[in-house]
């Protein structure tokens, strides 16, 4: 397993952002795990999260001139990431939208990297891509915290569907397979492995 992915999983477990049990997803599926980046809700957590994203983006080699965070979760994410980049010596501009309709520009220009927590149905990404193009800028890729690696409406995952539709690279901090590899080696979480394997077999790609 990639060392940064392991560190991020341990960080998410410590902050209870990653939990195991039984949770109902928006798609109506009963999931044995729950991942909510909204629980990174203090200064130290956001500082660390921003650094995880910044390093993942750097390692992905996705070219970009600025970052864009869709409302609402994307706003604190993109803010924490540009602060992390500044601490690494790179001053990166960023933009975000509001849910309310606006009649003026977003200040988007050049190659724009979209930042979000997850890609579920892909709706947020589609809206972001359209907004960036309307502003005369160019979407260059997407950075997310976790790739759930679950089937979407067909045989592809939501991430794969986005890649196929928009031809954009996607980088992530961790994935379902990486989480499973991690907990498989930890006796603390051994009791959840059967449920995780069953879920992956039914809904995984």
CB 145 within 8 A of CB 172: yes
* Residues 15, 72, 51: CA angle, nearest 5 degrees: 45
* Residues 59, 56, 115: CA angle, nearest 5 degrees: 125
Instruction: Copy the structure tokens of residue 42.
Output: 């203090």
Catalytic, 3? Answer no
Q: Which of 101, 104, 167, 201 is catalytic?
A: 104
**Domain enclosing residue 124, as ranges:** 3-203
Q: Pick from 66, 62, 40, 31: which is nearest to 145 by CA? A: 40
Give CA–CA dist 205/192, Å, rounded: 20
More confident residue, 152 or 66: 66
Per-residue confidence (pLDDT) for residue 106, from 0 to 100: 56
Structure confidence at residue 104 as a pLDDT band (50, 70, 90): very low
- Residue 26 scores a pLDDT above 70: yes
Q: What is the CATH number of the domain that holds 154?
A: 3.40.50.2020
Per-residue confidence (pLDDT) for residue 156, from 0 to 100: 87
Q: Total structural domains in the chain?
A: 1
Per-residue confidence (pLDDT) for residue 2, from 0 to 100: 80
Per-residue confidence (pLDDT) for residue 60, from 0 to 100: 96
- % of the chain beyond a pLDDT of 90: 74
Give CA–CA dist 148/168, Å, rounded: 18
Per-residue confidence (pLDDT) for residue 27, from 0 to 100: 76
Q: Is 172 exposed, middle or buried (0-12, 13-18, 19+ CB in 10 A)?
A: buried
Biggest CA–CA distance in the chain, Å, is 55
What are the φ and ψ backbone dihedral angles of 204, each rounded to 5 degrees?
Answer: -75, 160
Per-residue confidence (pLDDT) for residue 105, from 0 to 100: 46
- Residue 102 scores a pLDDT above 90: no
Give CA–CA dist 28/159, Å, rounded: 19
118-150: buried (b, 16+ CB within 10 Å) or exposed (e) per residue? bbbebebbeebbebbeebebbbbbbbbbbbbbb
32-82 residue pLDDT tens: 999 999 899 999 999 999 999 999 999 999 999 999 999 988 999 999 999
- Residue 125 scores a pLDDT above 70: yes
- % of the chain beyond a pLDDT of 70: 95
pTM score of the predicted model: 0.92
Catalytic, 104? Answer yes
- Residue 98 scores a pLDDT above 90: no
**What is the average per-residue pLDDT within 10-21?**
96
Instruction: Copy the structure tokens of residue 135.
Output: 């502003």
Q: Which of 26, 102, 167, 201 is catalytic?
A: 102
Structure confidence at residue 103 as a pLDDT band (50, 70, 90): very low
For residue 153, give every residue at least 6 positions away whose Cβ sits within 8 Å of its Cβ, in sequence order, or none.
161
């Amino acid at each position: 397993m990639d060392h940064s992915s392991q560190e991020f999983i341990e960080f998410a477990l410590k902050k209870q952002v990653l939990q195991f049990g039984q949770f109902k997803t928006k798609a109506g599926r009963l999931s044995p795990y729950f991942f909510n980046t909204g629980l990174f809700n203090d200064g130290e957590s956001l500082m660390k999260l921003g650094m995880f994203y910044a390093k993942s983006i750097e390692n992905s080699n996705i070219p970009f001139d600025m970052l864009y965070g869709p409302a609402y979760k994307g706003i604190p994410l993109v803010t924490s990431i540009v602060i992390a980049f500044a601490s690494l010596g790179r001053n990166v501009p960023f933009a975000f939208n509001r849910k309310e309709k606006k009649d003026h520009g977003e200040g988007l220009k050049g190659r724009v990297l979209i930042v979000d927590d997850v890609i579920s149905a892909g709706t947020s990404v589609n809206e972001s891509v359209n907004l960036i193009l309307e502003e005369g800028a160019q979407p260059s890729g997407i950075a997310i915290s976790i790739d759930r690696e679950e089937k979407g409406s067909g045989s592809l995952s939501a991430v794969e569907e986005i890649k196929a539709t928009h031809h954009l690279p996607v980088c992530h901090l961790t994935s379902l397979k990486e989480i499973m590899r991690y907990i498989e080696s930890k006796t603390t979480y051994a009791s959840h492995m059967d449920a995780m394997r069953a879920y992956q077999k039914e809904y995984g790609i």
